[in-house]
Amino acid sequence: MPYMLISTQIRLENGPTNVGDEFSDPAVMNYLGARKTTMLGNNFSEYHVDDPPRLVLDKLEKLGFRVLSMTGVGQTLVWCLHKETDR
């Protein structure tokens, strides 16, 4: 999967960080040390790590991901990353 979104809530810039959904690459989630959780009332799962976004971004850069954009949506900070693939 060449695209990835990570996010955190404002005031929680030191973690936890949401790093994926139920369709995320299990190898990347394992590398990040992410745990899969399903919040009560949701019918989907998410992966979370206790690390702050900066450390997650550093780890993903080592895997070849690059930040495409970053924005704030309400009380949430979101980063969109991309990894080049061999065609």
For each of the domains in the chain, give its residue range(s) and CATH number, in order of start. 3-83 (3.30.1410.10)
**The pair of three-digit structure tokens given for residue 24, joined into one six-digit string:** 């995320």
Please write the tens of the pLDDT for every residue from 34-68.
999 988 888 889 999 999 999 999 999 999 999 99
Please write the tens of the pLDDT for every residue from 27-36.
999 999 999 9
Dist. CA 3–CA 81, nearest whole Å: 6
Q: Provide the mean pLDDT of the chain.
A: 90
The vertex-39 CA angle with 55 and 81, nearest 5°, equals 35
Provide the percentage of residues in the chain whose pLDDT is more than 90. 71
pLDDT score, position 85: 82
pLDDT score, position 24: 93
The pTM for the full model equals 0.86
